[in-house]
Structure 1
Amino acid sequence: MTTIYRNAAVFTGSADEALQEAFSVEGGRFQAVGSEAEVREAAGPDAAEVDLGGGFVSPGVIEAHAHLAMFGESLGKVQLRDCKSLGEIQQRLIEAREANPEAPRILGVSWLFEAVGDVHPTAAMIDEVLPDVPVYLDANDLHSAWVNSAALAELGITRETPDPVGGEIARDEHGEATGLLYETAAMSYVWDFLDSTVTDEKRVEFLDSAFAAYLAAGVTGATDMSLNAADVAAIRRILARDGRLPFAITGHWLLQPSGDTAEDLAAVERVVGLRDEVAAAPGAEWFRIVGVKFIMDGVIDACTATMRAPYANGSNCDPIWNEERVFPVAAAADAAGLQIAMHAIGDRTSEIALDAIEHCIAVNGERERRHRIEHLESVADTTIERMARLGVTASMQPVHCDPAVLDNWKSVLGDERAETGFPWQKFRSAGVRLALGTDAPTAPYEALPNLYIALTGGSAIDPSLPPYHPERVFRPAEALSALTAGAAYAGETDGVNGRIAAGLRADFALLDVNPLEAEADRLLTARVQQTFVAGESAYEAR
């Protein structure tokens, strides 16, 4: 059955291509796109027709940087991103406890450093209101975990507990843990423990919730940036249950440094084996493992991103994966055909990331590669030039520079770097490929507010705030292309989706606003009317 969708403004995914009037779908794929007459001719006389009422159609958004299971789980946690003070955070936790007094622990997400004030969070701050139940609070950037004394006891953390490679347990002058765990300490102690408390059924529920939320936001594909064994098992359970996923995802296995190169190389071998196993299994068109993820440094807010010059307080931080650790492991992944994604927020870290990619080329020879660097919040001009020369994709998240969350970010830098962050315009000028995403749950997941920030530099959280350097912003077609076709290229699915073009899977979204022509602030109240995956309606607004 062929269906013609007509009377629409159709954005194909190309920033330089004119809007089209119609398209046709057959067998879950786009058959033709163009004028109504051209599409009717291609579809034939027996095609059904759907009048879209002049609506705006875009390729489905590809979430370029997702943490699907974590995002789904976060939807059920205490939400703290809008808390402006410690008192508000404490009150939110009290309310959560009162609402569920039998819960074995309280889980929260998205607190901001500036909400606590000039000092870093401590267990004592939570103990004031909840001393008897373990409390675990993920920072907004998911690079720190704030816990109370009951949680420290449940984790078994004492003054003798070692810091893992690339992480730190905050301690007082006596060596006692104060309640904040940075980077791999949060991952290896807090996340691993909490993961052990989650059932297989719950993990599937988390993914189901994530898929549903994303579909309502017009998302029809994603790259998961922190796969682990439990995530893969849950994804495969959904494939076994339904025969498919709600939309296709590609995944990067999260590699954590062990401090032993042989062990890290063995981890790459295991990823290669799992990639091949998943590729040979039923449902491979819906789930592929394409790469590995290196979290090279931390975040600027916690002063754990590695900078070329110290922070305002005189501190700096070593990378989590330094040259000695990352070079052999990256080269092994590259040799196996895995895509390399590197979280690099500090300006020094992105230099090391490119050094690693150049090492891969030197060791493994010239060939087409689609390696990528994630975030790039503070970055040197020379790094941008190197990325263009090496063909490395910049995967960035406009929601991370929402002015509502930048106060602490700017203050810890304290100099001109506070005003030169997120230089999208320099990447565009240099010809670097761009993919835009949200990194949910570190930031709001909705695609249209994310697009608003890309177009204005303003705040989707508090639109009254002045924009952060609007000279950086995108043209609407550029930004929408980076959310769709650019993200598909970065995720190695550009031969499958990300554009409205003949032969590609019919993943598209119908919006109640034309973002290429409407005032940008209209995006803050706009809605996705309908989302289609493989030509079938996957979400419809009520």
Structure 2
Amino acid sequence: MKKKRVLAVLLAIGMACSLCACTGGEKDSDTKSENTKKETKQTSENTDDSKNDATINSDSTVIYTNAGNILTEDDETQGATVFAVKDGKFVYVGNDVEEVEKDDNTVTVDLEGKYVTPNLIDAHTHPGTVAMTKWCTEIDGETKEELLTQIEEALSEKDIEEEPYVFFKSFPSDLFGEEGPKKEWLDDICKKLDKDFAIAVSDFNDHSVWVNSKWLEIYTMDENATTEGFNTNADGSYTGYISELHWMDYMDSFYENLGWKPPIDATEELMSIVTDDLKQWGMTGVFDAYIESDEQVESVSQLDKDGKLNMYYDLSVKLPQFKDLEDVIARIKRLNDNYSTDHVKVDTIKIFYDGTNEAGTSALVDGLATDPNNHGYLLMNEDETYQVLKRANEEKLDVQFHMVGDLAFRQACDATQRLENEIGQLDSQVEFCHCEYINPADRERPAKLGIIINWTPQWSGGYFGEAARTYLGDERYNDMYQFNPTIEAGGIVTFGSDIYSWDEEQRANPYFGMQTAMTRVDIEYPLEDENGNPKARESESAKLSLENLLKGYTINAAIALRVDDVTGSITKGKSANFNIYEKDLFDVDVEELKDVLPEKVYFEGNIIAEN
């Protein structure tokens, strides 16, 4: 089990502050007034010294020439070396500057051989959750004894009147086996300190949680709630280990019963820290993989209205159980009506369909290696899945599934195919995220069914250790993370960071993810061989190419967010969203990709970040 480090995120945030100048960009609107227009700074024609940037009038046509290479992600303009921007849009992409329509305000910028790409998009992450975990207490023990010592030390310094509920992150997912940790271990600490705290400790995967008796005493569920994942003793009492995310569905009533709520609001200030770092890395699109609170949507919406967001931001609402479907649809409509803007929308139902490989809760066709008769956890059966897809399609909402095991993958494919056989091509966009183990028989099905696959490149090197081997066995474990067959079949594969807390915020860096996916070696926490040396995660055939990674971070991700009509490629008529790099990414040594930063990041024609 590898430790997470808070220092890394502090360094990342510090780097963002010192290297990145993030500014408010001009909104693409016919009604914008002169006093809201932003002047665009750009490198002058004969110098690359940012101190001597020429100020370009916002009404100018700007022609960018002499690019070393432009990754347009548009088949019709690949090989272009010239592009032009006016009114925040690409008005020309090609090779002949004489073809650009000019006027008295036209300005030419010599790129001097620099590399250009479309802005990148993080197609699956959790900026709202990251913002809301800032109050949590970090621990990094790798044994039961270390964890309990760290928890005791932290609680001894806390005032129970000021913080009656303490949430710790995190314990190794594979440390306690299928039975999980016990509430009594936490109870004993409270008794020793004579402090009656409610305590919860998440696992490394952020899916399972370990709680004490006080927490269980406060926590209440309605009569229709599922207790799936709540481990029990022989007498039916809870052990204190909850292996799935259902416990989160009743936290509002938990805080009401407790009479206290932690400072977990996703404020504009906290959200900006995460989104500004994403922009520093050249990312101007985000799929926020589920909404923690209405304030999260309100904050993002307000940032956009204030001209500070400068990115496309898509959000989803979690479906706790099948019975909650109509409530979730109503919530999506309400949030979209209240907070949608030109760049912000809520249009996706998020389904946590199965569990995790490390906890032995993923849904597997051939069952767990430890118990072949145990096929894991599934939130819904195939018919319920079909019904969700049918209602989403009627409402023109998209559906994203968290899924890990091959049974979850197969069942959701079957439900999608059933609906398509009935009504034809869907209006809804169906997306499967993670898909850590796909049965070889099903790897081409997404291309045939129009299902989008999303993967997390920063996990490719074994970020979660080797705990999954216990439940999958060697054969399936060594055949995980196989997305090349789907790509080769013509399927759309996108990429995201899926960061979930402050202590891993630095791993949202897309170049970190690209290097990891290309080498299969985790940069921070590599797997080790018998001699303690870093080793690559199995198998060689699962390595992803830089070409496919860039496509997944640009045009494919834009398709997934339904913004490919305005971004994702450098195409005439689309918004001028592009990154300029000092060096062609294909010329960067793979071991140095993690250190890449774009020199300048443009959104709708304006510089929003400089490194």
Structure 2 length normalisation: TM-score?
0.77
1:139 matches 2:199 = no
Report what 2:51 is aligned to. none
Sort the Cα spacing of 1:332 and 1:119 in 2 relative to 1 into closer, same or farther, 3 A. closer
Sort the Cα spacing of 1:38 and 1:203 in 2 relative to 1 into closer, same or farther, 3 A. same
Report the CA distance between 1:175 and its aligned residue.
Answer: 3.1
**1:8-65, CA deviations, whole angstroms, 9 ceiling, x for partnerless residues?**
4432235997454343332222233344x53883455633344555443322221111
Report the CA distance between 1:326 and its aligned residue.
Answer: 2.3
Instruction: Give the conservation status (yes or no) of the 8 Å contact 2:314–2:347.
Output: yes
Sort the Cα spacing of 1:462 and 1:140 in 2 relative to 1 into closer, same or farther, 3 A. closer
* 1:106 alignment partner, one of 160, 166, 171: 166
Sort the Cα spacing of 1:168 and 1:116 in 2 relative to 1 into closer, same or farther, 3 A. closer
* 2:325 alignment partner, one of 264, 270, 281: 264
The one-letter amino acid of 2:596's match is: A
Alignment of 1:355-366 (within 5 A): 355-366=414-425
**1:320-342, CA deviations, whole angstroms, 9 ceiling, x for partnerless residues?**
12123222222111122112222
Give the 3-state SS of the residue equivalent to 2:378 in structure 1. Answer: coil
Report the CA distance between 1:213 and its aligned residue.
Answer: 2.6
1:121 matches 2:181 = yes
Stretch moving more, 466-475 or 527-536: 527-536
* 1:524 alignment partner, one of 586, 589, 594: 594
Structure showing greater radius of gyration is 2
Report what 1:10 is aligned to. 70
1:245 matches 2:304 = no
1:31 matches 2:91 = yes
1:514 matches 2:572 = no
Instruction: Give the conservation status (yes or no) of the 8 Å contact 2:382–2:415.
Output: yes
Sort the Cα spacing of 1:43 and 1:399 in 2 relative to 1 into closer, same or farther, 3 A. farther
Give the 3-state SS of the residue equivalent to 1:410 in structure 2. Answer: helix
The one-letter amino acid of 1:287's match is: V
The one-letter amino acid of 2:419's match is: C
Report what 1:411 is aligned to. 470
Report what 1:334 is aligned to. 393
Report what 1:390 is aligned to. 449
Stretch moving more, 337-346 or 5-14: 5-14
Report the CA distance between 1:244 and its aligned residue.
Answer: 6.2
Report what 1:313 is aligned to. 370
**1:263-297, CA deviations, whole angstroms, 9 ceiling, x for partnerless residues?**
5235335534654x25xx6x621112222122211
Report what 2:570 is aligned to. 500
Sort the Cα spacing of 1:203 and 1:109 in 2 relative to 1 into closer, same or farther, 3 A. farther
Instruction: Give the conservation status (yes or no) of the 8 Å contact 2:132–2:264.
Output: no
Report what 1:371 is aligned to. 430
Q: What is the CA–CA distance in structure 2 between the aligned matches of 1:539 and 1:38, rounded to whole Å? A: 27
Report the CA distance between 1:3 and its aligned residue.
Answer: 2.9
* 1:401 alignment partner, one of 460, 464, 471: 460
* 1:534 alignment partner, one of 604, 608, 611: 604
Give the 3-state SS of the residue equivalent to 1:178 in structure 2. Answer: strand
Report what 1:445 is aligned to. 508
**1:151-188, CA deviations, whole angstroms, 9 ceiling, x for partnerless residues?**
3344369xxx9894373222333433332222243322
The one-letter amino acid of 1:297's match is: D
Sort the Cα spacing of 1:61 and 1:95 in 2 relative to 1 into closer, same or farther, 3 A. farther
Q: What is the CA–CA distance in structure 1 between the aligned matches of 2:149 and 2:93, rounded to whole Å? A: 54
Instruction: Give the conservation status (yes or no) of the 8 Å contact 1:312–1:415.
Output: no
* 1:458 alignment partner, one of 521, 529, 535: 521
The one-letter amino acid of 2:370's match is: N
Instruction: Give the conservation status (yes or no) of the 8 Å contact 1:301–1:408.
Output: yes
Report what 2:52 is aligned to. none
Structure 2, unaligned stretches of length 5 or more?
A: 1-59, 527-533
Instruction: Give the conservation status (yes or no) of the 8 Å contact 1:344–1:353.
Output: no
Q: What is the CA–CA distance in structure 1 between the aligned matches of 2:77 and 2:542, rounded to whole Å? A: 23
Q: What is the CA–CA distance in structure 2 between the aligned matches of 1:89 and 1:371, rounded to whole Å? A: 40
Give the 3-state SS of the residue equivalent to 1:489 in structure 2. Answer: helix
Instruction: Give the conservation status (yes or no) of the 8 Å contact 2:318–2:328.
Output: no
Give the 3-state SS of the residue equivalent to 1:474 in structure 2. Answer: coil
Q: What is the CA–CA distance in structure 2 between the aligned matches of 1:46 and 1:26, rounded to whole Å? A: 10
The one-letter amino acid of 1:461's match is: E
The one-letter amino acid of 2:387's match is: P
Structure 1, unaligned stretches of length 5 or more?
A: none
Sort the Cα spacing of 1:202 and 1:385 in 2 relative to 1 into closer, same or farther, 3 A. closer
Stretch moving more, 317-326 or 510-519: 510-519
Report the CA distance between 1:104 and its aligned residue.
Answer: 4.2
Alignment of 1:291-310 (within 5 A): 291-310=348-367
Q: What is the CA–CA distance in structure 2 between the aligned matches of 1:393 and 1:241, rounded to whole Å? A: 31
Instruction: Give the conservation status (yes or no) of the 8 Å contact 1:391–1:432.
Output: yes
Report what 2:273 is aligned to. 209
Instruction: Give the conservation status (yes or no) of the 8 Å contact 1:69–1:231.
Output: no
Structure 1 length normalisation: TM-score?
0.86
RMSD over aligned Cα, in angstroms? 3.4
The one-letter amino acid of 1:336's match is: E
Q: What is the CA–CA distance in structure 2 between the aligned matches of 1:204 and 1:71, rounded to whole Å? A: 13
Report the CA distance between 1:349 and its aligned residue.
Answer: 0.8
**% of aligned pairs identical?**
21
**1:303-322, CA deviations, whole angstroms, 9 ceiling, x for partnerless residues?**
11111112122133241121
